[in-house]
Every structure is written in structure tokens, then in C-alpha cells.
Amino acid sequence: MHRVGPIVARKNRFGVDAWGTVDAGVRDILAPIEALFEREFPRYQPFPFGARRHIAQLVRHMLLAEPLVEEWAEQFQGLTADDIDGLMRSFAFDQCRVRAELAEILASG
């Protein structure tokens, strides 16, 4: 997280991950688009989740996410093989931090 923390914060603020993020930080751009679709295309309900989800997919999960890909990749440029091994070890199960609230929600479902 030391390496990618600022980008993760931006990803969360923009709500670019399709699962586990919210759109609160980008409502100012989504709301007018959603309103336009409700007004101009009231019957537009693309399968399977409808217009609002489709707009989120295009704006949040693609348009806003795409520029972050290069920034994410830049965080790993110039790493040695040993650096990469160290990063990989940080993802070992014993290094993971349990998100207790999420684990409870998933366990109860």
C-alpha cells in the first residue's frame, strides 16, 4: 500500500472498481448524465441491469478507470527481481489484513 496507496485512494474516490466502490465522489458528473437519459431515453433499459448501471460501467469503470492504468503501472517501473519477489510476498495469505465487517457480511449471506 505504500507504493500504490495514493492511486487506490483515487480509485475509491472515483468509484472505478465495479465491485466494492461507491459513486459518491462522482455524483456531480453522473447525475446529469442519468437525468439526460431519463428525460431523453426513458425506455432505454439495456440488459441486464438497466441504464444507470450501464452509465456507471462506461463512465466510472471505463472512462475514469482507464487513465489510472498507466499511473498504476508506473509504480512498478524499475523494480528488480528481488523487489518484485518482495511485493509478491506481501500478498501471501499470512500478510493479509482481514476486513472484519466485510467478512461478516459475506459469511452471513
Q: What is the pLDDT of residues 22-36, one digit of tens each?
A: 999 999 999 999 999
Tell me if 42 is assigned to some domain: yes
* 90 assigned to some structural domain: no
Structural domain of 38: 5-78
Q: Tell me, yes or no, whether 45 lies in a domain.
A: yes
pLDDT, tens digit, 9 for 90 and up, residues 54-109: 999 999 999 999 999 999 999 999 999 999 999 999 889 898 888 999 899 999 97
CB contact at 8 A, 61 and 19: no
pTM of the complete model? 0.74
